[in-house]
Structure 1
Amino acid sequence: MTARHLGSITRGTTNPNRLRRVDNWIAATLGGVLRRAPDPLVVDLGYGASPITAIELHARLGVPVVGLEIDPARVAAAQPFATDTLRFRRGGFELAGLRPTLVRAFNVLRQYDEADVPAAWAAMTATGALLVEGTCDELGRLASWVLVSPAGPQTLTLAGRLASLDTPSTLAERLPKALIHHNVPGERIHALFTALDEGWRAAAPLSVFGPRQRWRRTVESAKAAGWPILDRPSRWRLGEVTLRYSSVAP
């Protein structure tokens, strides 16, 4: 860490379209928050060796975006892609003094210790910003993220490419750092994946109608079992499910 910029340089690997699932969720779920903000600003924290994820986020949301990286070489390499509404600056969890409406931090905290997560969440939401923090695989086919407000974590979303999903528990490979080490018997996140896997197996006959129908029945069964699922079938058909974070918190 440095006195000015909070964080460490991470591996920085990225790919085009890797964050499409979370970007589309942000647009659909938090678009109203951005539209109501008098001066909306989104920060893409830790965009990596290539600025492509910040460029795509800017295109998908249609609001000003600032990409922040703690590595000055990455900031310099991104400058040719800057515009009036897409900028790149050096910064870490302190957000370089910015006061954004929303922060997206993906595949960043996965490279930290779990003990570092609460302080990082608190730093990124200290000015009132909402934070979407999560992890995905290299191609963006498996992903999960937590929506964090200044009051703490609010929701967990699991998202995957249904056509290639073996079982819902496959998504556990990409849980955020706050949860990934708790996917063991006796923990609530493990109980969630157990319920989803049971529903997935029970819904196997629906596979003839496609994976979306099987996933929808899986989510319906989890909701019927008492899991506090918050989103609607229109999101489930995309391979998503969102529920209260408190139901899976360690």
Structure 2
Amino acid sequence: MAEYFKLDIETLDYQDGITYIEFIDRVPTRQVTHVGERWLSSLREHDTAVGPLLTDQPLQPGEFDDSDRVSAAEFEDAWTLAITQERDQAMIEHRIGDLFTADDADALAHGCNCAGAMGRGIAVEFKRRWPQMYEEYKALCRAGKLTPGEIFPWQAGERWIYNLGTQAHWRTRAEMQAVVSSVDRMLAHAGAHGVRRIAMPRIAAGLGGLEWAHVEDALTPIVSAHGISVAVYQLP
């Protein structure tokens, strides 16, 4: 059974706000936080001002008053506002062409498995261009030091190359949680190293087996939060 609640909150930086929470069979499934002019969805796990964007606490009997309840329609309106704002503010640009011609990008990225193989897809070209990077990547995988959700950054001259652990093995599908975690880690690293634009393919789609539309929906709020442009390339 789905239940919806609207609660007053105070953020970590002492701003007043409102949060809407959806519980299904008492398990929190979605959450919207409204602070000032910002609408935040739980597609992103954390916000520096708000903290976690989805509670991990199940609904307890009598925890909220009936006056805190809202309709499914009110929750969905808030969810739509958050998703729309996050998409509008996102810094994801779509390009048609060759990823490796992105001269305006400070870094390149691609999704990879954590089994030490770059034998298919665009990973083959990354391996060809940076063979030393590949050898180090392979060693990390064999040592169990690159796992799904982690990243292996490699500096090639003035440009960073991000190897994103999006799937455990080349035989398995990409995992959405690993995609989100690795991109979040990449953007944090990029921000700390002065990277302003990253070019990458439609990671986790294609050989990864996920639908790109779902991947983009999950990545949009993360990219927006970090303020780093991401150019997503697709071959013509």
- Using the size of structure 1 for normalisation, the TM-score is 0.29
* Structure whose CA Rg is larger: 2
Relative contact order, CA 8 A, sep 6+: which one is greater? Answer: 2
Structure (1 or 2) with the greater helix fraction: 1
- Using the size of structure 2 for normalisation, the TM-score is 0.30
Structure (1 or 2) with the greater strand fraction: 2
